[in-house]
Amino acid sequence: MIEPFTSRPAPKLIFGPGALRELPAGVRELGASGVFLVSDTGIARAGHVDTARRLLESAGIPVEVFARSKENPTESDAAACRDIAREIRFDCIVALGGGSSMDTAKACNFLLTNGGAMRDYHGYGKAAKPMLPFIAIPTTAGTGSECQSYALVSRDDSHEKMACGDPKARARIAILDPELTETQPGAVAIQTGLDALAHALESAVCTRRNAISSIYSEGAFRHLSGAIGPVLAGRASHDDRGHMQLGAALSGLAIENSMLGAAHATANPLTARHNVIHGHAVALMLPHIMRFNAEEAAVGAIYARYADILKESRVTSLPLIDWVAELVSQSSLPVISVGAQDLAALALDATRQWTGQFNPRTLILDDYVALYRRALASHASA
């Protein structure tokens, strides 16, 4: 029997090398005549901001740029973007960058159109007024934010990462141009790629999984699993980059229609308390969370099916969790300096993370402490 579910529609996806050239047509399609482009300094240095600006201006579309997005944006970062946007005339927001640029753009949209502070939108569906049309253009293959209606923003006081979602915040168009990922540093490609893989694997087993999200999760895994090895080895081809970017977007759709789990619940405190890059933190925790979850029979069956996909596509004959653990060990992630005295605070923070409640196996505080201890010890000895 297929369980009842409600599907959240995907944005229009424009995929392919050189797809960035479709940006002016996308803006016109949305009935817009002026653009506020949100990006970051790294993307600007890579030349992508200037390319987007030239494309828009040559089509007669005025554009103003905010290229100061920060990694893991806070409430103050969102407000700073909003303050700049208030002084500009535009009717479409475009995000060009990684997950943080997309989060900043979505957060700005919330504040600009609905007022208040980002903590007012923590949760889902709290924006009462219409929001501006939004186009997302990822330059990494990781977060899948281009296909999600959530802005992830940290509180200024507690550093808690808030998921602020609303159907009106979702991108109307997502432009997936694999050529844009060629300029990302190798370490970024590794960390974002492992994050995308975690999205596929966590959404596949979370308690909110359903018929449509499972299609997205498995599709994402098929694209990601064959390409992530070359990414880790630093020899990704154009085709590999395309598979990674499409896989990341499909993972985003899987999350949008289901949720995540304890790998993300345990990763967020590492980022908030110890400044560990998000993809690094997720990768560190993922194999250990998977082993914990595999004791549930239904989860073990899903993992077995995904292991069969690896064998069919000749990626590996290893069991799924062993393959994931091997990927993490091959990724040369820096060792994290977290002492035993920090584990209790991390575990307590993890119990407060929203995604943990959707983990297929219930965790208590002691479980989180044990998982942190195991993951950190394993990472230190790798």
Domain spans in the chain, listed from the N-terminal domain onward: 12-180, 185-381
According to the model, what pLDDT value does residue 382 have?
Answer: 59
> What pLDDT is stored for residue 298 in this prediction?
97
The confidence score (pLDDT) of residue 17 equals 97
Q: Which fold has domain 12-180?
A: Rossmann fold (3.40.50)
Q: What is the pLDDT of residue 10?
A: 80
pTM for the model stands at: 0.95
Report the pLDDT value the prediction gives residue 296, as an integer from 0 to 100: 97
Residue 335: its pLDDT value, please?
83
Please, are residues 173 and 229 in contact by the beta-carbon 8 Å criterion? no
State the average pLDDT for the chain: 95
The topology under which CATH files domain 185-381 is Dehydroquinate synthase-like, alpha domain (1.20.1090)
pLDDT tens column, 355-365: 999 999 999 99
pLDDT score for 62: 98
Q: What is the pLDDT of residue 381?
A: 64
What percent of the chain clears pLDDT 90, i.e. is strictly above it? 88
* Average pLDDT for 287-303: 98
Give per-residue pLDDT as tens, 80-133. Answer: 999 999 999 999 999 999 999 999 999 999 999 999 999 999 999 999 999 999
| Residue 347, both tokens | 């575990």
Listed in sequence order, the residues at least 6 apart from 198 whose beta carbon sits closer than 8 Å to its beta carbon are 263, 264, 282, 283, 286
Residue 36 has pLDDT above 90, yes or no: yes
Q: How far apart are CA 266 and CA 214, in angstroms?
A: 23
Is it the case that residue 378 has pLDDT exceeding 90? no
Q: Is the pLDDT of residue 240 over 90?
A: yes
* pLDDT score for 171: 98
Q: In what order do the strands lie in the sheet with 161-165?
A: 123-124, 161-165, 150-154
- Residue 23, judged by CB atoms within 10 A of its CB (0-12, 13-18, 19+), counts as buried
